[in-house]
Structure 1
Amino acid sequence: MEITAGGLLEIRITPADVGKRVSVRRVEDGGSGSPSFTDTVGVLTSWNEGVLTITRKDGVSVRIAESSLVAGKTVPPAPARRRGPAASFEELARVTARAWQPLESEPLGEWTLRAAAGFTRRANSVLPLGDPGIPLGEALARVTSWYAERGLPAYVQAATGAAGTQELLCAELERRGWVNEVSAEVRIGALAPVGDLDADVAGVRLTRTPDEDWLARYGKVRDPDLARRMLVEGPSVWFASLGGGRAVGRCVVDGRWAGFGAVTVAPEYRRQGLGTVVMTALARRALEEGASAAWLQVETDNPGARALYDGMGFATHHAYHHFRAAA
């Protein structure tokens, strides 16, 4: 926090700092007669009628009464990724979008409306990588009607922990009653260490299309024909299957990037390293195609997968959230 030469805390932020990353300290009554202090770091997404809203990198918006502030300052953007390849938010957003392509898309300014008959939220949500070209309220009304025409709920995929105005969009969606239905981390890392893992990949079968065993293990398929059509789309897509579907995975090679997804292990075979085996086999194939960096997405409520990826050297680049229009 900001401390003056006299040892006093200072508030060095104003409403003009909306959109900047800030660090603030506020005083709270702990109920015991002695005050306590709480620090919050994030993007200042609004300051209206004596209340500040700060959106943290985990997507949670914290409302703070201006009267409770004891210190505050702007702080530099989040530091560059601690490990793994350098990557901008926009580069990763476009690479991850190409890995889960919709059946139908339509531009709205710099936004992209995507639909795929409801198969995966990623392919059935708006990708807002800039200005929609019209006021936000009109843009969201257009989004809602576009998805309603297709019998689908309206979703917007927005990020936190990323450069630009994504945090502001998250806060505005929340203010307008859109519900953050699910959050996930986008993690990145070097590809070679995954391929170099000591794993016996002899039993892993790699194919260009998913077979019945693969689809059955993936388990998120209501329409097999639609799933096959969707899953094979991408720059260079590979499917891995181990032991007749005991463990499966998917990898999309796109230039320097290899994107891992759909890594699923049968419940009775978990904690035996089969997910690692599948990813190692896919990584070695991606290395043969010239990839050097890796990315994956993991939901924040999946501690087992997050621990696995921690051990492989993947670090969180940013988080994304699927906001659903209020009913």
Structure 2
Amino acid sequence: MLRQQDVGYRIVVRRIVGIREGRPLFSDALGDLVELTETHLTMTTARGRLRIPLTEVHRAKRVPPTRRPTAAAVVALELAADEAWPAPVRGRLGDWLLRSADGWSGRANSALPVGDPDRPLPAAVDAVEHWYAQRGRPALVNTPLPLAAPVAAELDARGWTARPPVLVQTAELAPGPPWTAPAGQRDRPPVELTGTPSDDWLAVATDRKGGLPPAARHVLTAVDQVRFAHGYADGTLVAIGRGTITGSGRWLGLSLIEVLPSARRQGLAGQVIRAFADWARASRATHAFLQVEQHNAAAVNLYRQFGFTTHHTYLTRVAPTRGG
């Protein structure tokens, strides 16, 4: 059966659709899994969105992709993502990255175990735990899968828990649809991109992230190529976003795409994304990436409209609390 780690991937489902002469009748569906709950799975197919009760699922499994990203491709994208979300306190363990930002965001407060840590794996995990303990922070490790499967196995043996899976998704910044605004949205005021966030932008981001300590300001702004999107309606800021260009200029990184509740379902998030794409293409970036929690079905569906597909996933692993 399916697991939460399968959200965002292509699956095939054999569904029981009836009974004839005492035997079940089956129907097969092929598509992308966008949500998995205790009672239902939701997938997008060529015919549209399909929500299936688990009681009707006879069999379901992930369909292997025709092309899997190489280990080198996963490492390169993870490093571009790290460059786009830079923690102010950093260390190294061989090739592994150690990052701390006063607890603001999991990405900026976790070790990234890609490459060789220059020591046996158990000793490397010991060193990670020690590095974070010295700083009074809980030890976190982001494990890109399946690349970091050996690390994950070591953490399993130590009783580390896992936060919900995160999808690392990518899309090509090709000209034309879907990157061109629909006709009905072309008369809207353009989204403004600035090199620094306005006070209003920071206020919206603060509401979303539950505060912006000084370390957060560093994470948001300490990138050579960074832009902050401001979308207005009647003079009020109603949509924000953050875009970066990293990875030797190849990757547009999207983060903090947010529309105020009063202005949702009007295409503003798409307008923000298109503004970043225009800026990135003008800077000769060729691809975009983002990181989205697998259970955020609304966001996954939005990004799918722009051609984003899952490149790989990662789990943020959390060290067990030690009694004393």
TM-score, normalised to structure 1, is: 0.70
Match of 2:164 in 1: 182
Q: What SS is found at the alignment partner of 1:320? A: strand
User: Aligned with 1:262: secondary structure?
Assistant: strand
In the TM superposition, 1:62-211 aligns within 5 A as 79-80=66-67, 88-161=73-146, 164=147, 166-192=148-174, 193=177, 195-198=179-182, 199-200=185-186, 202-211=189-198
Q: Pick closer, same or farther for the CA change 1:212–1:313 going to 2, 3 Å.
A: same
* Aligned partner (choices 307, 314, 324) of residue 313 of structure 1: 307
Q: 1:236 is matched by which residue type in structure 2? A: Q
Counterpart selection for 2:251 from 222, 247, 257: 257
- Displacement, 1:194? 5.1
Deviates more, 1:131-140 or 1:218-227: 218-227
Q: In 2, Cα distance between the equivalents of 1:130 and 1:229?
A: 26
Cα distance, 1:305 vs structure 2:
0.1
Alpha-carbon distance between aligned partners in 1 of 2:237 and 2:104, rounded to the nearest angstrom = 21
Q: Is the 8 A contact 2:113 2:151 kept in 1?
A: no
Of 264, 276, 281, 2:275 maps to: 281
Report the Cα offset of residue 79 of structure 1.
3.4
Q: What secondary structure sits across from 1:285 in the alignment? A: helix
| Count of residue correspondences | 245
For 1:258-289, what per-residue CA distance to the aligned partner results, in whole angstroms no more than 9, with x for missing partners?
11111011122222211101111111111111
Change (3 A) 1:295 1:223: closer
- In structure 1, how many angstroms separate the alpha carbons of the residues matched to 2:219 and 2:73? 26
Aligned equivalents of 2:213 and 2:118: distance in 1? Answer: 37
Deviations 1:175-219 (A, max 9, x none): 221111232101111113553233446331211111221122222
- Tell me if structure 2 keeps the 8 A contact 1:110–1:132: yes
Larger relative contact order (CA 8 Å, sep ≥ 6): 2
* Bigger shift: residues 144-153 or 167-176: 167-176
1:212 maps to 2:199: yes
* CA separation of 1:195 and 1:321: change in aligned 2, threshold 3 A: same
In structure 2, the partner of 1:5 is none
Instruction: Tell me if structure 2 keeps the 8 A contact 1:221–1:227.
Output: no
> Please, which runs of 5 or more residues in structure 2 have no aligned partner?
1-63
Specify the code of the residue in structure 1 equivalent to 2:243: C
Structure 1 counterpart of 2:88, one-letter code: L
Q: Pick from 270, 274, 277: which aligns with 2:264? A: 270
Instruction: Supply the AA of the counterpart residue of 2:179.
Output: G
- How far the C-alpha of 1:81 sits from its partner, in A, is 5.6
Does the C-alpha gap of structure 1 residues 186 and 120 become closer, same or farther in structure 2, counting only changes over 3 Å?
Answer: same
| Kept after mapping to 2: 8 A contact 1:239/1:248 | yes
Gaps in structure 1 of 5+ consecutive residues? 1-76
Distance in 2 between residues matched to 1:209 and 1:81, nearest whole Å: 37
Shift of 1:224: 4.9
Identity of aligned residues (%): 39
Once the 2 structures are TM-superposed, how far is the Cα of residue 317 of structure 1 from its aligned partner? 0.4
In structure 2, the residue matched to 1:55 is none
Distance 2:281 2:257 in 1: 18
For normalisation by structure 2, the TM-score amounts to 0.71
What secondary structure is seen at the aligned counterpart in 1 of 2:227?
Answer: strand
TM-aligned CA deviation for residue 253 of structure 1 = 1.2
CA distance in 2, matches of 1:300, 1:208: 30
* Structure-1 residue corresponding to 2:59: none
2:168 aligned partner, one-letter code: V
Q: How many Å separate the matches in 2 of 1:315 and 1:81?
A: 12
Cα 1:224/1:130, change in 2 over 3 Å: closer
Q: CA separation in 1, counterparts of 2:79 and 2:178?
A: 23
Q: Indicate conservation of the 8 Å contact 2:245/2:253, yes or no.
A: yes
Does 1:302 pair with 2:296? yes
Alpha-carbon shift at residue 78 of structure 1 (Å): 5.2
Asked whether 1:235 is paired with 2:224, we answer yes
* Amino acid across the alignment from 2:245: V
Amino acid at match of 1:302: N
Is the Cα contact below 8 Å between 1:177 and 1:325 reproduced in 2?
yes
For the pair shown, which has the larger CA radius of gyration, 1 or 2? 1
Q: Residue 254 of structure 2: SS of its match in structure 1?
A: strand
8 Å CA contact 1:159–1:170 kept in 2: the answer is: no
CA shift for structure 1 position 133: 1.8
Q: 1:323 to 1:224 in 2, by over 3 A?
A: closer
